Structure 1
Amino acid sequence: MIAPSAAAAAALLRLAGSRAGIATLPAACRRDGLPRRWLSIMHDGGRPSYPQARACGRLVPKRTMGAPGARRRGYATAKDTRRVAVVGGGLTGLTTAYYLARKLPPTASITLYESNGRLGGWVKTDRVRVDVDGTRGTVSFERGPRTLSSLHINRWRFDDLVLYDLALGLGLPISTPPDQPRYIYYPDHLVVLPPAAPLLKFLCEPLVHDSMWGAAGYLLRRMTRDGKLPPDDHDPSIADWLRDITMSRAVGDNMASAMIHGIYGGDIDRLSARSVLDRLYWHYYVSKPSRDGSLMPAREHALLDALSMDPAIRKLALQPKGSLLHFGTAGMETLTTALADALRKQPNVDIQMDSPVRSISFDPREQKVNIVASKSPESENCQPMAYDGVISTLLSHDLARVTGDALPSLSERNSVSLMTVNMWYPRQDLKPRGFGYLIPRSVPREQNPERALGVFFDSDVGVVGPDEPAGTKLFVLMGGHYYDAHDPHAVLPPDNEGAAIAQAQALLERHLGIPRAAPCFAMARMAPDCIPQHLVGHRARMARAHGELSAAFGGRLYVAGGSYTNVGAMAGLRAGCEVAALAAGRRGTGLEQFAESEDIICMPSRKILVRRDRARRQDG
């Protein structure tokens, strides 16, 4: 029985996030001689012709550290006196302003509005003096994103190329920690996942046994599929889609929900399979026409074509690396600080701190977008500032609020809040070595009354600073959709920092055996609305929002960020890069991809110059 079990386990792992199944594209799906939503780049070097594809712009190899204007693409003339504003000084907003400064001439002016007194948004690295049980030193804590996904074997997305371009332009070193074991907590203990787990041990886990029928159902579905592509309006929830292709709830409840907790903090009953799973969703329906081909969205080819020609970017992309990236002992805030410093050096960039935007409106006669920014909510007497173009990196519901009733498709608050707890213990033997563990929704309530999403072992991933004492550093993530009134198992978040820390200590005692009374340093904070949620119908909502933006603002108000496209720090860099290229070149909204067909292309693997040998790096 070992062989069938191994096959089923392999199917489970594909469904859980490593690689999806592939089906043949039938002739019945063709239109005008081409498969529906399908284009192919032929081996003779031909290129697809898909509409309005834009990327960050082809860049020349020469760089001046921290000088955005040194590598400017000629979208505009030297007499360009446009006034452009960026709303939001988080990671995406800073990246947007940086690329605008590179693409527009010095005669153009760029204003960045930030609502509070610091730039960087959720990216924050704190260095804290600790004195615990006689151990003293300075410990670095990541309060938001702790690493970046390297995407080093991913041939479906190429967001990492923007990071390498930024690192080269800003002079930032990039580090990659060794890959560590990853765990899922189920049902009452940590389960180490392949490849770190011995196969036989993994097959004996209840996590596998309880999902085996789902794996068998998936294999049966694969053998009996009719080969049809989903219709354009097909947009099931993750839970419904997985239940359909596995004939079981177990894969979604036990594995997919854990993965989604770690990325979105979200509910698989509400999140869109099409928007969130993306590659896994499409690989189930579309097959490669040749063994040497790699499937990717057509929009990825634009970015790949723009940045992979730069030999310095290629060199960074091809360096051996693990699945995670960071900036060494300086922490994640190194990136946002470098972006802010580079912008402050530009004479045509004005950074307005403590300036929350209260109103964004359009003057059709003057063809200007007017912004009112004020510390006080009573902003009637504030003088509006007129701009030729405005890029918003605000959450979608915040943008809808400041634009009045112009953007009804963005008015719903589709985001979740997280309680984050950073903890440091002056001992090193408190847990197994690894990246951390995620908690699926199927874990019994008594094993997770705090409604935690996962625990990350930061001391095994980050680089220890010169003054940082040895110890165990943990990051506990709680809440997400469990703090949402829509969730049937919703709970109230802790009402103060002490209560949040107490919940984290109770969780760690139950899961890792760390006594609640163990001496430690801890700090907690609530991160409201920190992760946008791409719910069922997301693509249709974004298509409507594209039309509303075009009609209400004449193509002069653009949007970027996780409310619209992929969530996460790496995706935020990509979004800022692309919207800057769009705004520097022509009118638009930033949502053009949702108004167009979802074209999938097949590119010869040998032409993907920023991924290592496919024979050694298998990835869809």
Structure 2
Amino acid sequence: MGSPSVTIVGGGLSGLSAAFHLSRRFPASSGARITLVEKSNRLGGWVKSERARVKDRYGGRQADVLLESGPRTLRPASKAILELIHLLNLTTSVLTVPRTAPAARNRFLHISGARGLTKIPGSLPSLLVSPLVKILVPAILADFRRRNGRVLNTSQANDESVDAFLTRHFGSEFAQVFGSALIHGIYAADSRQLSIRAAFPAMCRLEENGKGSIVRGAISDMLSLTDTSEGLTYHVGDVAQLMKGVSVYSFRDGMQTLTDAMTNYLKQQQNVVIVKGDGAAALAKSTTGDGFQVTTESGKEIVSSHLIAAMPLPLLHRLLAHSRSMSPETSQSTSPPPGSTHNAAPLRRPSFPHPALSLKTGIRGRYMVQSHAGNSASSPSSPTTSTPSPVPLLPHLLANPSSSVTVVNIVFPPSDKPIHPDGFGYLIPRPQQGYPSPPGSTLGMLGTVFDSSALSGQDISICADHRSPKFTKVTVMLGGPYGPPSPAPASPDFLPTLLATLQEHLGHDQPLPEPCLVRVREHQDCIPTLTVGHVERMAELRAAVKEKWGENAVVIGASIDGVSVGDCIESGRRAALEL
């Protein structure tokens, strides 16, 4: 590739990652130009960390607490994130949780009808004394004994839901209790809809390697000396050593440390332009036909040789549909003027008589004077005779639904009696009778994270006596397949109902103390549900992009490549290195 110009539409995790790696691949000295377009006034998508000062109204103790309304922890498995930490010099900001820590070893379920929380066993001795033994042991034995059962071959297009896959291997009770709870925690979705090949491709590989048994496949993997890495090169420096024995990690100032660092890096690059608060309103092929033109909501027109669409697929569909409706070509071809005949040539907007006159139209961005190195601007003697043509529509952009999640950060005052057990948090399985109908008829709690236990190093006590009890911070997730919570967050009944539900789940006889701080954020359509058949559909989508848009365009993001932070970072990285 020579010196490209690249427009990235979408400044979430995937778009940020693509811009970062492109700027490293093509520095200012290369002559390349990179433009990142984001509708909102901030970059980073759903990642948002903020600090708040809390005070105990009775004891006068204070603390500076960190609140996360999006993803809050990372796993060391993603080399793409470890590479970012190394390249952005964030090692000293990393906060790790060892595998031996209570937050790593203690994870819980709240099972309907049971008092309090049930610990998920993490070892054979704990399994034997766990009330979950009656589910887990028969499930494991049943899968281990499977012979010549159905296998979802990774080289074929077959697929099924996570629930169906787990039921086939471990039984319906295991799938309902463990499978649905896990999917609540990761996707805020119904495990009966989510694709196993899209969500957990590693489990499909284990099934294949174990000749129908996940357990045998896992044992075979542990005994194998074969290197299963993809052979990709990541520059992780000393970060890999830092992650030895680590269960999860984050940053002292939260996940936004990562997105802010990428943003600040991009701002320092002379060949990178960041457009915020001005989203894409139209997308077309450039007048030359070999590039792309993005028109923003304010009328700004950005022409580039390459395009990376890093936005949710439903929003991309809306953008493409709107672009075609605004195009003279498509609007005239789909809605011919009265009196025209079927064989009549399509009407075209006459070329503007003089580029300079566009400055007097008062219509921002309707016309644009382009200048290229070595060429002068358009002159009166050679007027522009072509207009940008809309890019073709793509398949499967509306195939997957998305989950909406209400995130509630709660900070309780210091107490001599712990509010929750030491651990990471708990998840809640799907009700045995299914989700309430209609959606939005219940509180719809998915799970709770014990933030002050999992990542206590993010909070700063301002109390003179650091040995005194600390504030307790939890985050509750609501919604997803349950629909919007009821009572609604704006209702005066919302907080009392939520606290009473927490009290029941945590097994307290007395009401929980009055919180020092409650912060509610409602995230609409924040997590795509990758439904059955997703992998095959996305292969067709990628092929359509190459066929209809050309080799210089790519569509990436959580809607395609996976919803985790690591998936999004990897998606942007791959696009930048392969475009």
TM (norm. structure 2) is 0.75
User: What is residue 524 of structure 1 aligned with on the other side?
Assistant: 520
Which structure would you say has the larger Rg?
2
Distance 1:370 1:537 in 2: 32
Distance 1:334 1:126 in 2: 10
Distance 1:547 1:87 in 2: 20
User: What is residue 143 of structure 1 aligned with on the other side?
Assistant: 69
User: What is residue 3 of structure 1 aligned with on the other side?
Assistant: none
Cα deviation, 1:498-546, whole Å, max 9, x if unaligned, reads: 5554443232111112725634311101111111111001012102211
- SS of 1:408's equivalent in the other structure is coil
Task: Tell me if 1:162 matches 2:80.
Answer: yes
Contact 2:56–2:413 at 8 Å: present in 1 too? Answer: yes
Q: How many equivalent pairs are there?
A: 472
Q: Structure 1 500/580 Cα, relative in aligned 2: closer, same or farther at 3 Å?
A: farther
Task: Tell me if 1:325 matches 2:234.
Answer: no
User: What is residue 8 of structure 2 aligned with on the other side?
Assistant: 86
User: What is residue 597 of structure 1 aligned with on the other side?
Assistant: none
Distance 1:373 1:226 in 2: 50
Tell me the CA shift for residue 550 of structure 1. Answer: 1.8
Distance 1:446 1:268 in 2: 12
Task: Tell me if 1:398 matches 2:303.
Answer: no
Distance 1:249 1:341 in 2: 49
Q: Please, which moves more after superposition, 261-270 or 225-234?
A: 225-234
Cα deviation, 1:227-247, whole Å, max 9, x if unaligned, reads: 89477121011111222223x
User: What is residue 341 of structure 1 aligned with on the other side?
Assistant: 264
Contact 1:501–1:523 at 8 Å: present in 2 too? Answer: no
Tell me the CA shift for residue 491 of structure 1. Answer: 6.5
Distance 1:481 1:228 in 2: 26
Contact 1:192–1:202 at 8 Å: present in 2 too? Answer: no
TM (norm. structure 1) is 0.71
Which residue identity is paired with 2:419? L
Which residue identity is paired with 2:412? Y
Contact 1:394–1:561 at 8 Å: present in 2 too? Answer: yes
User: What is residue 446 of structure 2 aligned with on the other side?
Assistant: 453
Tell me the CA shift for residue 427 of structure 1. Answer: 2.6
User: What is residue 367 of structure 2 aligned with on the other side?
Assistant: none
Contact 1:139–1:468 at 8 Å: present in 2 too? Answer: no
Which residue identity is paired with 1:391? I
Distance 1:228 1:114 in 2: 39
Tell me the CA shift for residue 192 of structure 1. Answer: 1.2
Runs (5+) with no aligned partner, structure 1: 1-75, 152-158, 376-381, 484-489, 584-620
Tell me the CA shift for residue 217 of structure 1. Answer: 3.0
Q: Structure 1 573/502 Cα, relative in aligned 2: closer, same or farther at 3 Å?
A: farther
Contact 2:82–2:239 at 8 Å: present in 1 too? Answer: no
From 399, 405, 418, give the equivalent of 1:418. Answer: 405
Tell me the CA shift for residue 190 of structure 1. Answer: 1.2
Task: Tell me if 1:270 matches 2:193.
Answer: yes
Contact 1:362–1:552 at 8 Å: present in 2 too? Answer: no
User: What is residue 356 of structure 1 aligned with on the other side?
Assistant: 279
Which residue identity is paired with 1:336? T
Distance 1:400 1:493 in 2: 33
Cα deviation, 1:393-438, whole Å, max 9, x if unaligned, reads: 1111111211226013112452111010000001351110000011
Contact 2:71–2:255 at 8 Å: present in 1 too? Answer: yes
Tell me the CA shift for residue 481 of structure 1. Answer: 1.9
Identity of aligned residues (%): 28
- SS of 1:301's equivalent in the other structure is coil
Contact 2:63–2:461 at 8 Å: present in 1 too? Answer: yes
Cα deviation, 1:262-303, whole Å, max 9, x if unaligned, reads: 11111111111121121112101125699443474xxx5142
Contact 1:368–1:389 at 8 Å: present in 2 too? Answer: yes
Cα deviation, 1:50-106, whole Å, max 9, x if unaligned, reads: xxxxxxxxxxxxxxxxxxxxxxxxxx45xx2x2111111222221111110000141
Contact 2:486–2:494 at 8 Å: present in 1 too? Answer: no
- SS of 1:270's equivalent in the other structure is coil
- SS of 2:83's equivalent in the other structure is helix
- Alignment of structure 1 residues 90-489 onto 2, 5 Å: 90-106=12-28, 107-134=31-58, 135-151=61-77, 159=78, 161-173=79-91, 174-178=94-98, 179=101, 180=103, 181-187=106-112, 188=114, 189-195=116-122, 198-199=125-126, 202-203=129-130, 205=131, 207-210=132-135, 213-221=138-146, 223=147, 225=149, 229=153, 232-246=156-170, 248-287=171-210, 291-294=223-226, 296=228, 301-303=230-232, 306-307=233-234, 310=235, 313=237, 316-317=240-241, 319-328=243-252, 330-363=253-286, 365-375=288-298, 382=299, 384-404=301-321, 406-428=393-415, 429-442=418-431, 449-462=442-455, 463-467=457-461, 470-483=470-483
- SS of 2:407's equivalent in the other structure is strand
Q: What RMSD, in angstroms, separates the aligned Cα atoms of the two structures? A: 2.8
Which residue identity is paired with 2:230? H
Task: Tell me if 1:494 matches 2:479.
Answer: no
- SS of 1:508's equivalent in the other structure is helix
User: What is residue 9 of structure 1 aligned with on the other side?
Assistant: none
- SS of 2:420's equivalent in the other structure is coil
Q: Structure 1 186/400 Cα, relative in aligned 2: closer, same or farther at 3 Å?
A: same
Distance 1:350 1:142 in 2: 28
Distance 1:444 1:409 in 2: 32
Distance 2:255 2:66 in 1: 10
Distance 2:123 2:511 in 1: 27
Distance 2:33 2:14 in 1: 19
Distance 1:493 1:289 in 2: 48
Q: Structure 1 290/445 Cα, relative in aligned 2: closer, same or farther at 3 Å?
A: closer
Q: Structure 1 202/264 Cα, relative in aligned 2: closer, same or farther at 3 Å?
A: farther
Distance 1:439 1:140 in 2: 25
Which residue identity is paired with 2:500? A
Tell me the CA shift for residue 556 of structure 1. Answer: 2.5
Task: Tell me if 1:515 matches 2:504.
Answer: no
Q: Structure 1 91/224 Cα, relative in aligned 2: closer, same or farther at 3 Å?
A: closer
Distance 1:274 1:230 in 2: 8
